[in-house]
């Protein structure tokens, strides 16, 4: 069975002037890995005909799958489609299905008049298989040449992701014979990557070569993913389960869940199982925890809401934090976050609540309370637990670290206090 | 004066399995642009000798500056240094200054025993100019070959940034004579990329060739950036200002700001100028707007907080939305968001407030109120304006579109109602 290699060509001047960070490639690489395709190279080029052609020639030399993103917009600087049409020796034709979709989008969704340049988005090279883009007006395109597959996708992340999931990955799995690929993933929290590596290094050293371990760190959480590939699915699953069981035992102290699930989903499932609700009282995280929770469909089943108490008057008014506590202990204090939890439980009528207060920076630090100092609390009507952190990152990362760590505190509390 | 082109080679398997998002390249591209270097290409390769050598050969064909990041760590998979030593025909020697620095770091900063593999970080090819890495143990390296410059930097972002700022950029400015580069950027909202293109196409067609226009769409906002380069800074600025003034006139109807600033920063500056405050009442956006605002340092100056009223009981309890309205009109209605604004103004003691209520999907839609239907309101104590949207994207994008559009409604309201 041949090993299938892919390359990604991201197209767009904005990538070369640093206007946007390319988050697409990392996501695409993970998805390709999932189906057994290994990414050999990534290259970013500008909206330039010769650059695109050169990249296509180069990448198709030693990879069977060449994925392209970007340059499919309706404006003059988007030239990917004509360049591909020329490269694969086709001519532009109107794709009726895409045309209907574009018309539908403009009439029913955007509610804007349809311009000539938008109609042109329905034109595709006649040598391409059109991939339906349910989320936008620029279709994906699939070309084949000398046994290689060339795929052009829009650069807009949610359009690219929809096309990858619904069109590209299934077609690739049909087109190439790939080894069976299986994964086992677990999520840890509260332990750094290098310490985790130290804790499991003997086990990791003994992993058979067809099983690969990936550390997927995301702030204070690290996902461990074992990926196995082989011709025999049953055998592969047996081997994976055996290694996964051993790994879970080694990391049980830090394990959040033995599936590939975000922390807020784990908490949601805990709450639904107990038919309980939760609420948040956020000062320094400023709504970040609320938006994490509500990004999950169905979160209204267990999430009541949040009081984002950026101003102390809001902590007093809506969360009933005592004026004396704010004056004596300050907003960033154990007593304040405890009272914020109590306030959230009553004001938001929830069974569980979590609260955060800290100094996220870059300004606002003092010798006693430096930037990165955070108090968090989690509890119910009977009990409240607290934890203090000192983060030393930039503002956004301090916020995310606080959100993750406070949610993990809540998760532990829910498990221990039904 | 020759146009100076650069390429970036990022080295590391972690980039190819999607373990990390490459944020270095975008930052490096911006810094290179600032000094007049154009990034022609970016390529990511694994920790593989042949891949690295191939990339060096390829990139040095048509770029004068080849920047590399990654693969300089102390672990076995980091092979960049020996590969470069071989490529430039040198031999490894200990750099005393680096050795002292490594010893200092481990004794005074990391307070960890110094391992043999750490000492090896002080070894460099004798054909390289060592670039001092004040922030870490892996030094940067500068090679010259046939008038091209090859620079190897660690992949750790803050180490790379320190080396770029203190060593690489100043040396490049000495080594090459570069044209001046300048940008003008404005932000538009409420108009699609293609309509914008239509509105300015005559002006765009007449742009001199040394001025380039980029469309940078992000949800319902589109940034327009003119980039110019030339030998005479004064002349270039004059030309840019003239074209920028013309562009601003053409798009004034949709222009949010004539600088490269996020919408929530623009609102923050409006509020600070008027010495006014704002608050949010979020149902369907679930804290997303609050988190956007509080991601900006200093937002506590003008932002009081948010009531994330996911449950109707919270709309009634903390925002005083009338029970009758919720029963007769429903939570997703004009009257509800109006009362949410009123409630936020009083409960959060703010001068301005914005409110959102809608169905973000994938579930929860009805024939009368389908997924994507959203009501938003913005106002002060004297006046409240509302707007209704119908989005048809996935949950996360519906949330983001609602957040952006409601904030833009608030921005217009603040301007029109001081």
This model of the complex carries an ipTM of 0.80
Q: What percent of chain B has pLDDT over 90?
A: 70
Q: Quick check: bond before B340 cis, omega within 30?
A: no
CA distance B281 to B309: 7
Tell me the residue range of the domain where A193 lies: 180-257
pLDDT in tens, A189-236: 877 777 788 889 899 999 998 898 877 777 668 889 898 888 888 999
What's the gap in Å between the CA of B416 and the closest CA on chain A?
26
Interface of A with B in 354-373 (CB under 8 A): 361-363
Taking residue A14's Cβ as centre, other Cβ atoms within 10 Å add up to 24
B392 chain-A contacts, CB cut-off 8 A: 108-109
Q: Quick check: bond before A267 cis, omega within 30?
A: no
Same domain assignment for residues A54 and A134 = yes
CA distance B187 to B34: 20
Same domain assignment for residues A204 and A277 = no
pLDDT in tens, A76-133: 778 999 999 999 999 999 999 999 999 988 887 777 788 888 888 899 999 999 999 9
Q: Are A185 and A236 in contact (CB under 8 A)?
A: no
pLDDT at B117 over 90: no
pLDDT in tens, A343-376: 999 999 999 999 999 999 988 999 999 999 999 9
Please work out, in degrees rounded to the nearest 5, the angle formed at the alpha carbon of residue B90 by the alpha carbons of B87 and B93: 130
* Sheet of B255-257, strand order: B211-218, B221-230, B180-189, B255-257
Tell whether A260 lies on the interface with B, counting CB pairs under 8 A: no
Same domain assignment for residues A228 and A362 = no
Average pLDDT over chain B, rounded to an integer: 92
CA distance A354 to B282: 19
Q: Per-residue pLDDT averaged across B24-30, rounded?
A: 90
pLDDT in tens, A371-418: 999 999 999 999 999 999 988 777 888 898 899 999 999 999 999 997
Q: What is the CATH number of the domain that holds B69?
A: 3.40.980.10
Same domain assignment for residues A409 and A346 = yes
Same domain assignment for residues A276 and A405 = yes
Same domain assignment for residues B56 and B14 = yes
Tell whether A107 lies on the interface with B, counting CB pairs under 8 A: no
pLDDT in tens, A262-273: 899 999 999 999
Q: What is the CATH number of the domain that holds B267?
A: 3.90.950.20
Same domain assignment for residues A27 and A142 = yes
Same domain assignment for residues A23 and A167 = yes
With CA atoms as reference, report the closest residue to A348 among B367, B176, B287. B287
CA distance A61 to A48: 20
What's the structural domain count of chain B? 3
The lowest-confidence range among A15-24, A215-224, B175-184, B401-410 is A215-224
Q: For chain B, give the number of residues.
A: 418
CB-CB under 8 Å, B23 with A29: no
pLDDT at B140 over 70: yes
What's the gap in Å between the CA of A44 and the closest CA on chain B?
5
pLDDT at A257 over 80: yes
Same domain assignment for residues B309 and B340 = yes
Per-residue pLDDT at B134: 87
The lowest-confidence range among A60-69, A241-250, A406-415, B362-371 is B362-371
pLDDT in tens, B239-290: 999 999 999 999 999 999 999 889 999 999 999 999 999 999 999 999 999 9
Q: B93 pLDDT band (50/70/90 cuts)? A: very high
Among A160, A175, A190, give the residue marking a domain's end: A175
Q: Are A291 and B288 in contact (CB under 8 A)?
A: yes
Same domain assignment for residues A14 and A141 = yes
With CA atoms as reference, report the closest residue to A318 among A291, A277, A346, A290. A346
Q: Residues with Cβ < 8 Å from A363, sequence gap 6 or more?
A: A371, B297, B298
Q: B214 pLDDT band (50/70/90 cuts)? A: confident
With CA atoms as reference, report the closest residue to A28 among A233, A165, A182. A165
Q: B111 pLDDT band (50/70/90 cuts)? A: low
Beta-sheet pairing, A221-230 with A255-257: unpaired
Same domain assignment for residues B284 and B230 = no
CA distance A65 to A173: 12
Q: Which among B194, B229, B309 is the top mutation candidate for probing chain A, defined by the most A β-carbons within 10 Å of its own β-carbon?
A: B194
Per-residue pLDDT at A23: 86
Q: Provide the 8-state DSSP code for A47.
A: S
Q: Is B224 helix (H, G, I), strand (E, B) or coil?
A: strand
Same domain assignment for residues A24 and A113 = yes
pLDDT at B1 over 60: no
* DSSP H or E stretch at residue A292: helix A288-294
B153 to A361, B67, B126: CA distances (angstroms): 28, 8, 17
CA distance B320 to B340: 7
CA distance B389 to B373: 6
CA distance A148 to A159: 24
CB-CB under 8 Å, B305 with A363: no
Per-residue pLDDT at A33: 86
Per-residue pLDDT at A215: 77
pLDDT at A323 over 90: yes
Per-residue pLDDT at A42: 95
A61 to A6, B56, B343: CA distances (angstroms): 11, 17, 63
B362 chain-A contacts, CB cut-off 8 A: 297
CA distance B391 to B3: 45
Q: How many beta-carbon contacts under 8 Å exist across A and B?
A: 280
Query: Any idea which residue has 């490639």 for tokens?
Result: A25
The lowest-confidence range among A95-104, A282-291, B100-109, B405-414 is B100-109
Q: Residues with Cβ < 8 Å from A205, sequence gap 6 or more?
A: none
Task: Find residue A378's DSSP bridge partners.
Answer: A354, A385
B206 burial type by CB count under 10 A (0-12 exposed, 13-18 middle, 19+ buried): exposed
Q: Is B172 helix (H, G, I), strand (E, B) or coil?
A: helix
Among A257, A289, A309, give the residue marking a domain's end: A257
Per-residue pLDDT at A92: 94
Q: What percent of chain B has pLDDT over 70?
A: 97
Among B226, B257, B288, give the residue marking a domain's end: B257
With CA atoms as reference, report the closest residue to A301 among A353, A356, A354, A350. A350
Q: Are B403 and B356 in contact (CB under 8 A)?
A: yes
Token output for A405: 């760590």
pTM: predicted TM-score of the whole model, two decimal places? 0.80
Tell whether A205 lies on the interface with B, counting CB pairs under 8 A: no
Per-residue pLDDT at A1: 53
**B46, B297, B397: residue with CB nearest A362:** B297
B396 chain-A contacts, CB cut-off 8 A: 158, 295
**A44, A215, A287: residue with CB nearest B287:** A287
pLDDT in tens, A31-78: 998 888 989 999 999 999 999 999 999 999 999 999 999 988 887 778
What's the gap in Å between the CA of B15 and the closest CA on chain A?
7
């Amino acid at each position: 069975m041949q090993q299938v290699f892919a390359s990604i060509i991201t197209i767009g001047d904005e990538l070369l002037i640093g206007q946007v960070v390319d988050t697409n490639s990392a996501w695409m690489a993970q998805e390709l890995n999932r189906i057994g395709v290994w990414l050999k190279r990534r290259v970013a080029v500008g909206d330039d005909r010769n650059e695109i052609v050169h990249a296509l020639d180069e990448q198709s030399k030693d990879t069977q799958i060449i994925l392209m993103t970007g340059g499919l917009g309706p404006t003059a600087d988007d030239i990917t489609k004509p360049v591909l049409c020329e490269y694969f020796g086709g001519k532009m034709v109107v794709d009726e299905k895409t045309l209907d979709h574009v018309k539908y989008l403009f009439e029913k969704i955007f509610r804007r008049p349809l311009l000539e340049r938008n109609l042109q988005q329905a034109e595709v090279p006649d040598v391409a298989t059109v991939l339906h883009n349910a989320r936008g007006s620029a279709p994906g395109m699939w070309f084949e040449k000398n046994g290689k597959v060339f795929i052009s996708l829009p650069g807009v992340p949610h359009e690219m992701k929809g096309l990858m999931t619904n069109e590209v990955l299934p077609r690739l799995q049909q087109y190439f014979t790939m080894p069976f690929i299986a994964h086992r993933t677990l999520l840890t929290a509260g332990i750094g990557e290098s310490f985790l590596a130290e804790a499991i290094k003997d086990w990791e050293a003994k992993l058979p070569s067809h099983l690969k371990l990936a550390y997927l760190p995301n702030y204070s959480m690290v996902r461990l993913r074992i990926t196995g590939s082989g011709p025999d699915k049953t055998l592969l699953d047996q081997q994976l389960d055996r290694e996964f069981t051993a790994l879970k035992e080694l990391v049980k102290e830090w394990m959040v869940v033995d599936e590939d699930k975000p922390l807020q989903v784990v908490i949601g499932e805990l709450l639904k199982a107990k038919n309980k609700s939760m609420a948040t009282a956020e000062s320094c995280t400023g709504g970040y925890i609320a938006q994490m929770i509500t990004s999950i469909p169905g979160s209204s089943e267990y999430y009541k809401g949040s009081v984002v108490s950026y101003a102390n008057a809001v902590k007093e008014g809506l969360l009933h934090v005592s004026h004396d506590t704010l004056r004596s202990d300050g907003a960033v204090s154990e007593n304040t976050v405890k009272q914020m939890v109590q306030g959230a439980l009553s004001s938001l009528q929830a069974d569980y609540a979590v609260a955060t207060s800290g100094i996220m920076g870059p300004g606002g630090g003092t010798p006693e309370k430096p930037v990165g100092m955070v108090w968090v609390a989690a509890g119910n009507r009977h009990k409240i637990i607290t934890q203090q952190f000192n983060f030393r990152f930039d503002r956004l990362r301090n916020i995310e670290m606080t959100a993750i760590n406070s949610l993990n505190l809540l998760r532990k509390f829910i498990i221990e206090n039904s």
